[in-house]
Amino acid sequence: MRVLLTGGAGFIGRHVLNELLRRGHSVRVLDSLRPDVHADGKTNSLDAELMVADVRDSAAIDRALVGIEAVLHLAAKVGLGVAVSDLPDYASSNDAGTAELLAGMARAGVNRLTLASSMVVYGEGIGHCPEHGPVRPAPRNEAALAAGNFEPPCPHCGRPLEAALVTEDAPLDPRNAYASSKLAQEFYASNWARVTGGSVAALRYHNVYGPGMPRDTPYAGVAAIFTSALRRGEAPKVFEDGRMRRDFVHVRDVAAATVRACEAHRDGVRAFNVGSGTPRTVGEMARALAETLKGPVPVVTGHYRLGDVRHITADSSRLRDELGWSPQVDFSDGMAELARL
């Protein structure tokens, strides 16, 4: 296929590009090289045609879509978005940018979209209450967090909830600016598909790590932050009590899932969780990295951010059952690889 890959010069985008090329596809990359991600403005020699432009530029979108059969849309402002002042940039970069891309696809008659979404659209996901069963956790509040009560409460009785795997049918509950913008992208894509008859595979990535992770920037994930600290000889600082559950999935597995969805999903709108299927705590990751890099023992700080979620872990069986994907990189092997970088 002739594919347009937006955000193809970024962390995940580079791995998706490699996977597309490995599978014989022809790729055009569209990337704005935004300075908060690409500080030096360099792309380190992409093995594909590169257009340096913003997805909000409708004329550039029209040029980029010439001859294209399918679009993989990864370009986005990422991060948590904890400040109210972040809202305009998320809304413009992610929501308006996606709207411009979809409008351009309609003009060009391109009807296949693979969208990089995120597990953050679930908020706290689903928890299990001993009395009320599966429930959506109540919002965490500042006073409880400050007192060290980190587990989200049952909205009915206030008891702490047990974490549970989240399926794609779980209630959507974005709790920060980035999450709201990713969910808006999914809604815009659904609107586009309804009008044009196009297909959308929305891939809800979980916590992605691996070679090429951004470091020491607002875009760095927790694995990159811990690794950077350890390489400076500092102990990783783990928020809350370190028991937050996540699904850490290797970037090559994410790339394989993304390309597989582009190739195989051709009808309607479908969301797919992309995770390893093995929940781990943030503290476990910090300890694994510290042991692998032979660095200081992690320090649990008790600090918190109100926009963070406590637990969010995926049930990725839909992706496995419907598209034939499964993760290939073991967690311990992935940690060892990070140590060698």
What is the SS3 assignment for 286? helix
Dist. CA 135–CA 122, nearest whole Å: 13
Q: Which of 178, 205, 209, 304 is catalytic?
A: 178
Dist. CA 81–CA 119, nearest whole Å: 15
Task: Read off the tokens for 191.
Answer: 């609107």
- Is 178 a catalytic site residue? yes
**Given phi > 0 = left and psi -120 to 50 = alpha, else beta, which region is 18?**
alpha
CA-angle at 256, arms to 255 and 259, nearest 5°: 85
Element (H, E) at 129: strand 127-129
Amino acid at the residue 279 = P
| Contact criterion met (CB below 8 Å) for 104 and 65 | yes
Give the residue from 169, 164, 167, 173 showing the smallest Cα distance to 126.
Answer: 164
Interaxial angle between packed helices 177-196 and 97-108, expressed in degrees from 0 to 180 and rounded to the nearest 10: 20
| 139 DSSP 8-state letter | P
Give the residue from 59, 71, 69 showing the smallest Cα distance to 102.
Answer: 71
Q: Which residues, including other chains, have CB under 8 Å from residue 38's CB and lie 6 or more apart?
A: 9
Task: Read off the tokens for 183.
Answer: 């969910």
Dist. CA 203–CA 270, nearest whole Å: 9
| Contact criterion met (CB below 8 Å) for 258 and 301 | no
> Which positions are annotated as active-site residues?
178
